[in-house]
Chains A and B, each alone.
Chain A
Amino acid sequence: MSIKGQAYIVGAWEHPTRKAPDKSVAELHAECARGALQDAGLGKHDVDGYFCAGDAPGMGPLNMVDYMNLRVRHVDSTDIGGSSYIALVAHATQAIMAGKCNVALITLAGRPRSEGQHTGTAVRVVNPAVPDSVWEASFTPNTANLYAMCAMRHMHEYGTTSEQLAWIKVAASHHAQYNPHAMLRDVVTVEDVVNSPMVADPLHRLDCCVISDGGGALIVTRPDIARGLKRPLVRVMGAGEAVKGQMGGDVDLTYSAAKWSGPAAFAEAGVTPADIKYASIYDSFTITVLMQLEDLGFCPKGRGGAFVSDGNLISGVGKLPFNTDGGGLCNNHPANRGGITKVIEAVRQLRGEAHPKVQVPNCDVALAHGTGGLLGSRHGGATLIMERE
């Protein structure tokens, strides 16, 4: 049984804040829920399914359903890091198909910027209860160097260069200049990126995403309910999810879980990468984008460097417009989890509601893909394909 066409994304809302020292994480979740329901034209009492992940305080659904005082008959708190929210759209669709809920609310929020989390280089302390932590934490792997080792290996095997990676940031910055909420709105050049300070070889400061407060929410509902609302119709076409780790020591840093989640999503949707008019691609680091594009089949493995060069990801310039909100690299990476903003910008594109300077003409099929956790050790991948009806 396929999820194709079985549910619609009718509400999508991104919190405008990028620094929220005076709001709690729970409050940000609730504001996002309110925003997405208003966007959909639905009310609080319509929600009967709640979906969240590890950024939600306490025990997720227990604390947040109570905080928002929802009356739900289905909950799901699958946590695969920043990719969770992309998978949760598929899970919500499955729940709707099974009759477990009619109106699914998905929320994400966090404030790592206000809380002063130096996420990328933060030391992970040894946790004897986590099996891999026992053997790894002593070496102080962190977010930046775990992604950097993927970049180093990709460069070694395929000749990928720092200049090619830099083009990904350049494209994101071209889009961010039109987003008044984006943290980084200045257009940057390849030289700006490669001349920025080295964080973890071969990744420079501008190869990294921003650290921001904020959040977002999505409303997924039944086809008949969606048709009764006043919003453009965006339907779920296909999805895939996967987890990739060290495979018992058969470590291969040249590909991501997208290699598995991508084909599953394309098969279910009945489309190919050539059909995708707009792609939201998780951009915790430039290397994340490059590897995912290859693994999703937008170009052959090892050719990502050439594919992203010369503005090929810039809307109106290249063949594959990506992250037209500025993405995690320039706009927003709330809770250090970029999955929900990936879906939100894809919905804007499919509705024709992206900024006019970056709106893809006749955008009928879009993809959102996320990588959650740590690309260089263990991570989740989630792919979602959506269509404007």
Chain B
Amino acid sequence: MTDRKLAAIPETTDSAEFLAGAREGRLLIRRCTACHKPHWYPRPVCPFCFGNTEWEAASGEGVIYSFSIQRKPAAYAMAYVTLAEGPTMMTNIVGCDFDALRIGQKVKVAFSEAEGGGMVPTFTPLP
């Protein structure tokens, strides 16, 4: 299964540190310093309590919450993955037989190199 090249995540004030972590193979998420809950997508202001948040490294493991195989023009697997830490994030599932995917399947982060460089947090099924 050849996976397509994805567009890069643009470097913004919100994404720069995440992208640096991704280059080192670390999946960073943000957690609130007030209510201590992690969230996705990353925001400096907590979406649960408006507290301040900070980066931490996630385990990179999760389960498929839902997915859909886009058939044309180039097949890919759109998905939501629920991270072990709690938040559910939008992603693609790569490096697998799409027809074997199922909800609840365990996956781990597999950074894919984006067009023009940079890493995008995709996921791949655990054996």
**Cβ–Cβ contact B12 & A128, under 8 A:** yes
Query: For the complex, is B7 an interface residue (Cβ under 8 Å from A)?
Result: yes
Contact among A139, A140, A249, A377 with B40 in the assembled complex (CB-CB below 8 Å): A249
By size class, the interface of chain A is 35 or more
Nearest CB of chain A from residue B116's CB, rounded to whole Å: 12
Nearest CB of chain A from residue B76's CB, rounded to whole Å: 7
Query: Could you give, for residues 93-136 of chain A, a 1 whenever the CB lies within 8 Å of some chain B CB and a 0 otherwise?
Result: 00000000000000000000000000001000110100110111
Residues in B1-34 with C-beta less than 8 Å from chain A? 6-10, 12, 14-15
Contact A201 B69, CB 8 Å, known A128-B12, A132-B41, A149-B80 = yes
Number of residue pairs spanning A and B whose beta carbons lie under 8 angstroms apart? 121
Contact A248 B7, CB 8 Å, known A121-B72, A142-B70, A153-B65 = no
Nearest CB of chain B from residue A287's CB, rounded to whole Å: 11
Residues in A141-164 with C-beta less than 8 Å from chain B? 141-142, 144-146, 148-150, 152-153, 156
**Cβ–Cβ contact B70 & A144, under 8 A:** yes
List the B residue with the shortest CB-CB distance to A198: B71
Nearest CB of chain B from residue A373's CB, rounded to whole Å: 15
Query: Could you give, for residues 27-52 of chain B, a 1 whenever the CB lies within 8 Å of some chain A CB and a 0 otherwise?
Result: 00000000001111111001110000
Chain B neighbourhood of A156, CB < 8 A? 66, 103-104
Query: For the complex, is A267 an interface residue (Cβ under 8 Å from B)?
Result: no
Contact A152 B87, CB 8 Å, known A128-B12, A135-B41, A248-B39 = no
Chain B neighbourhood of A246, CB < 8 A? 40-41, 88
Query: For the complex, is A271 an interface residue (Cβ under 8 Å from B)?
Result: no
Chain B neighbourhood of A150, CB < 8 A? 66
Docked Cα-Cα span, A203 to B69, in Å, equals: 10
List the B residue with the shortest CB-CB distance to A248: B47
Docked Cα-Cα span, A152 to B70, in Å, equals: 13
Query: Could you give, for residues 82-116 of chain B, a 1 whenever the CB lies within 8 Å of some chain A CB and a 0 otherwise?
Result: 10001111111000000000011000000000100
Most chain B C-beta atoms within 10 Å of own C-beta, residue among A141, A150, A152, A153: A152
**Cβ–Cβ contact A251 & B14, under 8 A:** no
Chain A neighbourhood of B42, CB < 8 A? 135
**Cβ–Cβ contact B78 & A145, under 8 A:** yes
Docked Cα-Cα span, A1 to B7, in Å, equals: 50
Query: For the complex, is B59 an interface residue (Cβ under 8 Å from A)?
Result: no
Chain B neighbourhood of A203, CB < 8 A? 68
Contact A126 B10, CB 8 Å, known A131-B43, A145-B70, A152-B68 = yes
Contact A199 B71, CB 8 Å, known A135-B42, A141-B78 = yes
Most chain B C-beta atoms within 10 Å of own C-beta, residue among A125, A128, A197, A202: A128
**Cβ–Cβ contact B41 & A138, under 8 A:** no
Most chain A C-beta atoms within 10 Å of own C-beta, residue among B15, B43, B65: B65
**Cβ–Cβ contact A148 & B39, under 8 A:** no
Docked Cα-Cα span, A150 to B66, in Å, equals: 8
Contact A139 B78, CB 8 Å, known A150-B66, A153-B66, A249-B88 = yes
**Cβ–Cβ contact A134 & B12, under 8 A:** yes
Docked Cα-Cα span, A149 to B92, in Å, equals: 12
Query: For the complex, is A306 an interface residue (Cβ under 8 Å from B)?
Result: no
Nearest CB of chain B from residue A28's CB, rounded to whole Å: 30
30 cross-chain CB contacts under 8 A: A128-B12, A131-B14, A134-B10, A134-B14, A134-B15, A137-B7, A138-B114, A139-B120, A140-B76, A145-B68, A148-B68, A149-B67, A149-B79, A149-B80, A152-B68, A153-B65, A156-B66, A156-B103, A156-B104, A200-B78, A201-B69, A248-B39, A248-B40, A248-B47, A248-B48, A248-B87, A249-B87, A250-B88, A253-B80, A377-B90
Residues of A bordering B, CB below 8 Å? 121, 125-126, 128, 131-132, 134-142, 144-146, 148-150, 152-153, 156, 197-203, 246-251, 253, 377
